[in-house]
Structure 1
């Protein structure tokens, strides 16, 4: 039975659900994960600038489901283009670095969540919230900048040492 185009469009209002209805489970989970992770991070860590990506993901989901529901050919459940490059990098899969980075991200998000939900309410009794808010923004900004600089320097070191970072032809 071929899926209904109208139902697919209806389900696409929730990013990822339309893809799942069409049988593209992997793509649906990736879209949902991306959408809700951005929403969680923007709300939990007061990074409102991340919310600019939510309508982009939402519209992508709608238009992608619309175009895929019109196709007569069988649909292939491959990674989304955003995740396809990460999966093709052999240095990630050889050393299980993906799981390691996900673990670091989860630990960091847990620490931020504890700070936001436990430490800040306690400190707000003694320190004006104005200073806490700017201090928290400063710490998060410094962490993001230092992580980016570390990643750039680490990539340059790998390239200088002659290691293959990514070779899509292999």
Structure 2
């Protein structure tokens, strides 16, 4: 099916919609999910630094749709490059492990939401807002650093066990 380049670029102004117009539904959904998840997280948890990624995703969407609308051969609806590595990991094929990672993400988001919507309003009655904001930033930073360290620790142990497997095969 021949797609109009102008219509595709018009739809690409909303990240993911241009891909869906071209028939790349999986890529479109992934782009929309990424775009709106960043908006949600930066607004809900006051992590404004995440908004830096919004123009990157937006421009990627526009230029990728433009490039794909110029192609004559049929388009293949595969994962976006950012999600391709995740899909190829063998340990993600276990559905219970995927559910475990989603559970971790939901727990962290719940903690951030509880800090923002319950603890901060209660503390603001007794403590100056400047100190509350510093405390909130400290707690969120510690949580993010802990998650990152936990993930790196898990990767190092997998790499070490993978190295011993390679050495045993030789």
Q: Same fold (TM over 0.5)?
A: yes
Question: Unaligned regions of 5+ residues in structure 1, if any?
Answer: 165-170
TM-score (norm 2): 0.90
Greater share of helix residues, 1 or 2?
2
Question: Unaligned regions of 5+ residues in structure 2, if any?
Answer: 165-170
Once residues 124 and 48 of structure 1 are traced to their aligned partners in structure 2, the CA distance between those partners, rounded to angstroms, is 21
Structure of higher RCO (CA pairs closer than 8 Å, 6+ residues apart)? 1
Deviations 1:1-51 (A, max 9, x none): 422111110110011111011111100010011111111111111211111
What is the Cα deviation at residue 135 of structure 1?
Answer: 0.6
Structure 2 counterpart SS, 1:161: helix
What is the Cα deviation at residue 163 of structure 1?
Answer: 7.6
The 5-angstrom pairing of residues 79-90 of structure 1 reads 79-90=79-90
Number of positions where the alignment pairs a residue of Structure 1 with one of Structure 2? 164
TM-score (norm 1): 0.90
Deviations 1:128-154 (A, max 9, x none): 111111111101111111111111111
Aligned match of 1:146 = 146
The 5-angstrom pairing of residues 21-170 of structure 1 reads 21-94=21-94, 96-162=96-162
Once superposed, which parts of structure 1, at least 4 consecutive aligned residues long, lie more than 4 Å away?
none
Once residues 90 and 53 of structure 2 are traced to their aligned partners in structure 1, the CA distance between those partners, rounded to angstroms, is 28
Backbone CA RMSD of aligned residues? 1.6
